[in-house]
Amino acid sequence: MTQSIAMALHGGAGVLMPGVLTPDDEQAIHAALLQALKAGVDVLEQGGSSLDAVQASVVELEECPWFNAGKGAVFTHKGDHELDAAIMNGANLEAGAVAGVHHVRNPICGARAVLEHSEHVLLAGEGADLFLSEQPDLEHVSNDWYDTPLRRRQWAAQQQQPETVLLEPGGVEKKFGTVGAVALDRQGHVAAATSTGGITNKRYGRVGDSPLIGLGTWADDRSAAISATGHGEFFMRTVVAHNIASRIRLVGSSLADACEQVVQGELKDLGGNGGVVAVTPSGETVLSFNTPGMYRAWRDAEGGLHTAIYAEDDRLHAV
């Protein structure tokens, strides 16, 4: 019997309610989510690995200025961009991550390079930039390549109101735009990938949960692959991704129950806003968030491709 495939991705969770986006913007975001989903699903349908699939989807999201990763990453306090990413293979627990990098066009490809070409898991700052500059297959850009007019406007507003975190793509609200993907391939292996520009106006080399293995990113064939999005400080304190996986592996929880207990329970009780996408080696797929919305997309068991933004939103696109 042929192993089924599964895939899900996210582009940020937060204060997203009908009326926040224009109809044209909504349509553009749905189209971008679908394009990213198809990029990963195509890899899986052709027999490719879950690791290649999540990377393909995240690259598409990094190239889309709607999301806070790669092109369209938020500005730091000093007016540049510091990018974080991680990728993990559930088959062997190999992982690679980068934090605070400045010039690799697709940070998720940088994380994959750390996985494949170094003896380390996480490289940060100038050292990470140096390592990535030595990788012949990576494309590098000037730091201002990540700029967009929207992000510059948000940064200017944030400079006037430093105590807030900005909604994307407008208004001053709590909203976080990390991107990520999880997948199950025909060989029965899961993988996860996550990429982010962090929080607008961040200082002091701040790093969130996204590139930290077990917090914002985790994959293990014995449990599940998980990619998270939200306020990183809370995800770090609740070890969200590994927490979910441990409930499955050690307690025997279903993926749905584990996500409910962590995202709607421990994380929310602490004051953390955000969500996760997750998939098990059996193909169970969950998209869980405790906010009014989450940019998200997934392939169902019958092969239908869905995209959604708001909590009540469920849009099916025919292939």
72 is in an annotated binding site: no
306 is in an annotated binding site: no
231 is in an annotated binding site: yes
> 90: which DSSP letter?
T
207 is in an annotated binding site: yes
Annotation says 178 is catalytic: yes
129 is in an annotated binding site: no
Answer whether 293's CB lies under 8 Å from 309's CB. Answer: yes
**Cα end-to-end distance, the chain, whole Å:** 24
Cα separation of 76 and 203, whole Å? 6
> 250: which DSSP letter?
I
76 is in an annotated binding site: no
Phi, psi values for residue 187, rounded to 5°? -90, 0
Active-site option among 22, 148, 164, 178 = 178
208 is in an annotated binding site: yes
| CB count in 10 Å sphere of residue 300 | 12
Cα separation of 188 and 87, whole Å? 17
209 is in an annotated binding site: yes
Beta bridge partners of 317: 305
Cα separation of 44 and 179, whole Å? 19
Sign of the alpha-carbon torsion through 28, 30, 33, 37: negative
The token pair at 55 is 């990377």
Give catalytic residue positions: 178
Give binding residues as ranges: 206-209, 229-232
Give binding residues for substrate as ranges: 206-209, 229-232
